[in-house]
Chain A
Amino acid sequence: MNTRFITTAELARQAECSVAKVINHITEGLLVPAGRAGAAQNAAFIFDERDLPDLLKTLSGESGAPAGRSRQSRDVDTVRHKAQAFLRATTEVQP
């Protein structure tokens, strides 16, 4: 399996919206991240790239349905990809 993951900021860039809007959608339960690291308010979120079309539709308002889902790692490569995305995400939330 070659699953890729994107960070909150990367999703915001794809959707041409602000990071705050993505976070608000997560808080409201409209976007479900594939994972999060830590429970802090600025916790790093990651999304499965396969969910991208649905995530973009929800962010643009084209669809009101919740998009994305939590995904378990089924192999070492997925763990690596998730970890890389989390590390990128951590860099984004830290000035």
Chain B
Amino acid sequence: MKVLELFEEIDTQRAKGLSANLDRYKGEPVILRINSPGGSVTAGMLMADAVQRHGRVTAEIVGLAASMATVVSSAAKETRMASTGLFMIHNPWMATEGDARQLRKEAEALEKFGASLVTYYVNKTRKTRPEIQQLMDAETWFDAVQAKESRFVDSIFQAADARAAIRWKARFPGISARLQKGPQKTPDQLARQYMALPAGPTRQEFFQRHKTTLFSLLSK
């Protein structure tokens, strides 16, 4: 099971990264851990589309899922939430400047984005569009129990598990970067890569980094 993380503000760069990773793990089940205050609407839509397109993503909200992060979690096949987590939905918002025509254009675009977000929530919760719109207009915060009752999440897991996930990340900070780089290579692939390297510090460094895997080949 591949584990990806969305532990920051949503922006275009991160959306592209997540989309590329999900394409790489096509057909495989993926857990997407979320602790994000949201961010860019367009980037969030890109993430949500990638999650939906993948089709085998389980979203795990381990802290906060707010604004666009909730659209991403709602696009997942299954959504789980830590018992102490928080979930918030609201209308998209933007700061802009320009003449009357430009402002009207921006407002229309924002309304269209808002309608798309509602669709994600409606598909997830089976609530009506007006019901969802009302929750968004009021900027509604949910604890885990209420998020489940409102069907934004499918199940709740104990916060201790979420804390363990965060501690695990803190103990092994490299794991996130490794996941960003793509799937792990097989021992054979690593051995071939090692043999192809010229003798020298690069090869030694490669060996040090992958010695456990390379030794496992020798012991076969």
Residue of A nearest to B67 (CB): A79
Contacts known (A37-B142, A73-B67); A87 close to B90, Cβ less than 8 A: no
Residues on B with beta carbons closer than 8 Å to the beta carbon of A39: 146
Cβ of A50 to closest chain B Cβ, rounded Å:
17
Interface residues in A24-75 by Cβ distance below 8 A to B read 35-40, 43-44, 70, 72-74
The CA-CA distance from A87 to B82 in the complex, in Å, is 13
The CA-CA distance from A79 to B36 in the complex, in Å, is 10
Does the CB pair B143–A80 fall under 8 Å?
no
Does the CB pair A72–B139 fall under 8 Å?
yes
Partner of B146, one of A38, A82, A86, A87: A38
Residue of A nearest to B64 (CB): A83
Does the CB pair A38–B9 fall under 8 Å?
no
Interface residues in B36-79 by Cβ distance below 8 A to A read 37-39, 64, 66-67
Interface size grouping (class) on chain A: 20 to 34
Residues on A with beta carbons closer than 8 Å to the beta carbon of B88: 73, 79, 82-83
Does the CB pair B141–A86 fall under 8 Å?
yes
The CA-CA distance from A76 to B9 in the complex, in Å, is 8
B166 at the interface (CB under 8 A from A): no
Partner of A86, one of B37, B67, B86: B86
Residues on A with beta carbons closer than 8 Å to the beta carbon of B90: 72-73
Contacts known (A39-B146, A87-B86); A76 close to B141, Cβ less than 8 A: no
Residue of B nearest to A84 (CB): B64
Cβ of B11 to closest chain A Cβ, rounded Å:
10
Cβ of A80 to closest chain B Cβ, rounded Å:
5
Cβ of B167 to closest chain A Cβ, rounded Å:
17
B20 at the interface (CB under 8 A from A): no
Residue of A nearest to B91 (CB): A72
Q: Mark B74-108, 1 if CB is under 8 A from A, else 0.
A: 00000000001010101101000000000000000
Does the CB pair A80–B146 fall under 8 Å?
no
Does the CB pair B139–A76 fall under 8 Å?
no
Using CB atoms and an 8 Å cutoff, list the residues of chain B in contact with chain A. Answer: 9, 37-39, 64, 66-67, 84, 86, 88, 90-91, 93, 138-139, 141-143, 145-146
CB-based closest 4 A-B pairs: A38-B143, A79-B37, A37-B141, A38-B146
